[in-house]
Homo-oligomer: A and B are copies of this chain.
Amino acid sequence: MRDVAIVGVGITKFGERWEHGLKELMAEAGLMALQDAKMESKEIEMVYGGTMAPGKFIGQEHVAALLADQLGLQNTPAVRIENACASGGSALRQGYIAVASGIHDVVVVGGVEKMTDVNASEATTALGGAGDQEWELFQGITFPGLYALIAKRHMKEFGTTEEQMAAVSVKNHDNAYRNKYAQFHRKLSIEDVMRSKMVADPLKVLDCSPISDGAAAVVLVPLDKAKKYNDLPIRIIGSGQASDSLSLAERDSLTELKATKIAAQNAYKQAGINAEDVDIAEVHDCFSIAEILAMEDLGFYKKGEAAKAIAAGETALNSKLSVNTSGGLKGCGHPVGATGVKQAVEITWQLRGEAGERQVNGAEIGMAHNVGGSGATAVVHLFKRAD
């Protein structure tokens, strides 16, 4: 197993990108990553493309070969990786394995979703495919509904309040305000969130990540070749992934994601670090309650203690642990397949010291945490500056 480094990152603006199709978004992010790595496309040996439901959203499957084609890599092997909302993180992990194993030297990992070509009902149905369609979606429960069940149980067991959940959205919009690639540049108050339209009690629309278009890409090479491409390579020091039942009803607990716990333990073990060593984290806040679960399941807080800490500002920018500096899924937007790759882009910028107005001082170790569905897949990566 070789050490692996990120030497190039690229991203599009996230949001309602009416003027751009899937191909243009992929090309924009991919070419930006290649330029960042000062690399010609012919050096690329393999492409991993993370995307969740392009068949449902725009009628296009076979997206990895299309991505290779868009990058001018007509004959380079490519595979699409799909694990619902964890498609991007899962693609990053497969790309990492390909380089770590020595099979490939230069790998591009892209993530993309073009979601705004369908109406809200179609989008909700497409996203419902991340859960158990037979036991959940076809019975009428949508994703906000599943996370609302989780939120209700968390409130009952630990006294978590709607205002504490709202604080997650407020913080993430504050961070997104400083990120030019983010979908939203609008600061929120707790009252804004509390007064927003109810989607699935207790989750209001401002507790929910949006429907978005966007793409992100990273270039991976062996660490010992990284300086050829970039003066500030970012090393992947841990990678973990785990699964769980798709259906919530089959889980032991509604208030933890076991897949997140196992993935994090494996990543920490590989990196030889603990939760307290992490300085910055991009975690999967598809709904405000999801960030609370994540902070607990990743080991940053004991179960039942994260909501209060977030509301007290412990995870704000340049606090004890800066969480979702990109704006997270809530503020930066959530083009599903792009999200897990975007997390790696943000951590790379932070560890390089290139995050501009939202730079975390002295960040040394970063984490990316990407969840599929209501927790049936979780992927955790840990990163550190290589020098």
Chain B residues in 8 Å Cβ range of A59: 125, 128-129, 133, 137-138
- Whether the pair A81, B83 counts as a contact (CB closer than 8 A) is no
Contact status of A79 and B73, CB under 8 A, knowing A1-B103, A66-B246: no
Point out the residues of chain B lying under 8 angstroms from A82, CB to CB: 61-64, 79-82
* Complex CA distance for A141 and B241, rounded to whole angstroms: 40
Let me know if B79 and A83 touch, CB within 8 A: yes
**CB–CB A61/B65 < 8 A:** no
List chain B residues, Cβ under 8 A from A243: 47, 64-65, 68-69, 73-78
A50-74: CB near B (< 8 Å → 1, else 0) gives 0011111011111111101100011
B125 x A62 contact (CB < 8 A)? no
- Report the nearest B residue to A66, measured CB to CB: B246
A52 CA to B56 CA in the complex, in Å? 12
A→B interface (CB under 8 Å): 1, 21, 23, 47, 52-56, 58-66, 68-69, 73-84, 90, 93-94, 97-98, 100-103, 125-126, 128-134, 137-138, 241-246, 250, 258-259, 262-263, 372-373, 376-377
Question: Are A1 and B83 touching (Cβ within 8 A)?
Answer: no
Q: So how many copies of this chain end up in the complex?
A: 2
Q: A65-B376, A69-B245 are in contact. Are A129 and B55 (CB under 8 A)?
A: yes
Q: Which residue of B lies closest to A56 (CB)?
A: B55
- A55-B129, A66-B132, A134-B21 given as contacts; is B83 within 8 A of A80 (CB)? yes
A259 → B minimal CB distance (Å): 7
Closest 8 CB pairs of A and B: A101-B101, A61-B129, A77-B241, A62-B84, A65-B376, A80-B82, A60-B133, A65-B243
Instruction: Give A242's nearest chain B residue, CB to CB.
Output: B75
Q: Which residues of B contact A129 (CB under 8 A)?
A: 54-55, 59-62
CB nearest neighbor in B for A130: B62
Q: For A79, what are the chain B residues with a Cβ–Cβ distance below 8 Å?
A: 81-83, 90, 93-94
Measured between alpha carbons, how far is A290 from B56 in the docked complex, in Å? 28
Q: Are B101 and A58 in contact (CB under 8 A)?
A: no
Which residues on the B side are within 8 Å of A242 (C-beta)? Answer: 75-77
Tell me if A1 and B102 are in contact (CB < 8 A).
Answer: yes
Q: Are the C-beta atoms of B259 and A75 separated by less than 8 Å?
A: yes
A147 CB to closest chain B CB, in angstroms?
16
- The complex places the Cα of A245 from the Cα of B71 at a distance, in Å, of 11
Question: Which chain B residues border A128 with CB–CB below 8 Å?
Answer: 59
**A103, B102: Cβ atoms closer than 8 Å:** no
Complex Cα distance, B23 from A250, in Å, reads 15
**A377–B102 contact, CB under 8 A?**
no
Q: Are B246 and A75 in contact (CB under 8 A)?
A: no
Q: Which residues of B contact A377 (CB under 8 A)?
A: 62, 65, 77-78
Chain B, Cβ-Cβ closest to A84: B62
